[in-house]
Structure 1
Amino acid sequence: MEVVHTITELRTRIREYRRINDQSVGFVPTMGYLHEGHASLLRKAREQSGLVVLSIFVNPLQFGPGEDFERYPRNTERDLELAEASGVDLVFMPDVKEMYPSANRTIVSVEGVTARLCGASRPGHFDGVATVVSKLFHIVQPDQAFFGLKDAQQIAVIEQMVFDLNLDVEIVPCPILREADGLAMSSRNVYLSKEEREQALVLSQSLMQAKAFVESNRLFTSEQLISKVSRHIETAPLAVIDYVEVLSYPSLEPLEAVSSSDDDTIIIALAVKFGKTRLIDNLILQVRK
């Protein structure tokens, strides 16, 4: 495994690889503080790609005022150990000046799919995500890019950007990885106190209850699902709900009545704060005939 810190170095290594190999390049962009969820993406890339490229970059553009950019967890040594154990060939670790050498005058903004969920709660967040991912795609020029479905809205945004801009990369969504007790794996879980960590289990529990409700009811409304999920989350005294929504996926358009005969894909998405830590989770369901 090789670690590079500049765009020129990265492009040189990938160009050298492509000159002598006809296998694909797989790419996993991250903000570091890697966990088993990231490792699952890297292993998937290893299975499907000849060259596996990992980026570790905490992108300031996607953090709003008062958010946790400065205190976002970082552990380079552990990240590199996990990357090597997961079969990564090339790690790109630029600093902010390398990615944004001057004031950024070009922003990639994706409309529609950013109007709700985290796009509404964190204005400008997805402009930062789309901009940095676009930059990374142009730098790496991967054949495939692997993203976790824990941030399903992010995948919808990136897929829309790739479609609209005719980018030559396949987006590969990968399942959410959870701890043994159901909590979705996240770099931000490290912020949780013991009590917050215990109460955060209401997130996955509420989604599982919603899944059982969908499977046992032929006709239901978004409001019924939202109410069911919200009521369970509110049983945790420390939980402060940012949003609970039920939308079509990946268009992220509102739904009214949902029938088990509609043959639609829906997402139940939520964001909840425990203390200063904001967690997201979701469940994507195929509602079939």
Structure 2
Amino acid sequence: MGFDVTRFKGEVDEELVCPICSGVLEDPLQAPSCEHAFCRACIQEWISRQPTCPVDRQTITSAQLRPVPRILRNLLSRLCITCDNASYGCNANIKLDSLAAHLAECEHNPKRPIPCDQGCGLIIPMDELKDHNCVREMRSLIHSQQQKMTDYQQELADQRFQINELKRELRLVKDFMRAMKISNPAMRSLANEMERDEVVRWSNSLTRARVTRWGGMISTPDDILQAMIKRSLSESGCPSHIVNDLMENCHERSWPPGLSSLETRQNNRRQYENYICKRIPGKQAVVVLPCDNPHINEDMMIEPGLVMIFAHGIE
């Protein structure tokens, strides 16, 4: 809809008035052939009911409408108009093309957001300040935040349920593959390949680690420490079919010949410094997997991999 003609200083040329709403053109568009100009909102609403020019009834469609010439836009921009907030005390007369910028900063704008000076500090429209109650608004805000928290918790619970269902289905598939691997020799190769791929995917999800103090290695971890590392392995997505074997390989009694004693470890220091290690999340521990270390000698590696725990010295 156009601007009320009475808001303008002096007379307004009839060429700048919308034939539909009789207001001064607002965001105008022009018919293609007859070149009659209308407010954008007015002509689009008109065409939605009847696709003709309101002045001479020539057929037009919304797609045929085009911007008015620059000279018409310039004439409109030079018109002086009173502020929308004149009834609230604003006496400004501004050029039409500056109206939007003025309204954004007009101190008489009843919807201008201002901070509450009664204590709560909430930002509220100026015309709502007289009815503003800090206690009521803060209670409403707290209730709204509590409701959002409840919704988030429910959404999280639903996602956890879905994840657990997917994990259950995955365990069923793995159990089935293991059963087929035992009962059907033809499936054994496929099952082994799937398990290897699963280990590779898990390894790729871990962050590569650099051991800076091999002397901090704990070669005989106690049961409590082993339980902590095992839990971290499981939480990191370690394939269930290798978790127990990896944990068995966290103690020097199960390490390969090249690591089986302090003496051999000292002799082979240069070799195990070449391990590609992946960090066990949240712990001073690494996992060394054959899929990451094809360059390591057989006497320094063991299936399905090594878990090495350190008192310190992992980056």
Give the TM-score normalised by the residue count of structure 2: 0.19
Taking structure 1 as the reference length, the TM-score comes to 0.20
Greater gyration radius: 2
Going by fraction, where is helix more abundant, 1 or 2?
Answer: 2
Higher relative contact order (CA 8 A, sep 6+): 1
Higher strand share: 1
